Structure 1
Amino acid sequence: MVVFALLIISKAGGLIYNREFNAGLAKLSSNDLLILAGTFHGVHAITRSLAPVATHPANRLSSAPPSSIAAPFPLRPTGLEVLESSHFRLTCFQTVTGTKFLLFTEPSQPNVDVVIKRIYELYADFVMKNPFYTIEMPVRCQKFDGALDGYIKGNVR
């Protein structure tokens, strides 16, 4: 099992962090990474709006428009979460603040949700608690890089 790369995208759609851990995917230029981040941000926003409208089963035969029927537990649209190909799997984890973590792994990588949430914990501990870090700016934190290396190379391989 292999983790190829990690990208972190700000809530505005800008690439604030990218890191390659293992070879296996084509090497992208800085420009290509910026385009990938912006494109994914747009696609994610579109897929959030494609979510079906939740309706209560008792109201499905109602003639009222769907927007006027309230579901008891409204579904919260999440957008694109996993994109899988024969060569890699892209997993997206969006935080409450809108920051997106994109993790590229082998398609057979188990427990990707656990891995990406641990990466988010490391980000919260080493980047967000850093008094010198400015939100929405590129992440340049050696302690985060070291903790990420230790976790990915030590536990996931």
Structure 2
Amino acid sequence: MSAAQGSQTSFALWIINKAGGLIYSRTYAEGLAQLNSNDYLILASTFHSIHAIATRISPVPGSSGVETIEADTFKMTCLQTPTGIKFVLLTTPSHPAPDTVLKRVYETYADQLKDPFYTVEMPIRSEAFDHKMAVAVRGH
């Protein structure tokens, strides 16, 4: 692992609405495979479906679905809000606090809801929001 991919590297962030639509996606790591927008839509929809299936087949009543998927080269962490919005963060496996990052991301998204020109659960395309999310993800 290079110095650029240290223990706290966040690779990407997705925000998925309660219907499974991708409303925000950003990549934060250089050299990460660049997918086209359709590929990201498919990935978000697939994750949403797997999350819903995991919730239903869990032997534990009241399961919150998939929270973390770990692989050798990445960790995918999901925070689902009470309204069904999912925040998915892809990080290095050794990232010490993806849950903390996701809480900052959620707070940043909640601030976006105060914008009178934003329609809830619709795609977010704003340079100001991109900057705020980069700060939330990177922690500075």
Whether TM exceeds 0.5 here: the answer is yes
Is contact 1:82–1:89 with CA below 8 Å preserved after alignment? Answer: yes
Larger Rg: 1
Bigger drift between 91-100 and 142-151 goes to 142-151
Is contact 1:4–1:24 with CA below 8 Å preserved after alignment? Answer: no
Bigger drift between 113-122 and 18-27 goes to 18-27
Deviations 1:103-155 (A, max 9, x none): 00000000111111111001101x11111100121012333222222233454
- The residue that corresponds to 2:109 in the other structure is 123
- The residue that corresponds to 1:87 in the other structure is 73
Q: How does 1:77-156 map to 2 (within 5 A)?
A: 77-125=63-111, 127-155=112-140
Deviations 1:5-49 (A, max 9, x none): 000001000010000111253221111101001111110000001
| 21, 32, 38: which one aligns with 1:31 | 38
- The residue that corresponds to 2:11 in the other structure is 4
Q: Give the secondary structure class of the aligned counterpart of 2:125.
A: coil
- For normalisation by structure 2, the TM-score amounts to 0.88
Q: Give the secondary structure class of the aligned counterpart of 1:39.
A: helix
Deviations 1:68-123 (A, max 9, x none): xxxxxxx5210011011111100011011001001000000001111111110011
Q: Give the secondary structure class of the aligned counterpart of 2:124.
A: coil
Bigger drift between 42-51 and 134-143 goes to 134-143
The one-letter amino acid of 2:130's match is D
Distance 1:19 1:82 in 2: 19
Distance 1:48 1:24 in 2: 34
Hey, which bits of structure 1, 4+ residues long, moved more than 4 A?
none
- For normalisation by structure 1, the TM-score amounts to 0.79
* Residue ranges of structure 1 left out of the alignment (5+ in a row): 54-74
Distance 1:26 1:143 in 2: 25
Indicate the RMSD between aligned Cα atoms, in angstroms: 1.4
Is contact 2:108–2:136 with CA below 8 Å preserved after alignment? Answer: no
- The residue that corresponds to 1:61 in the other structure is none
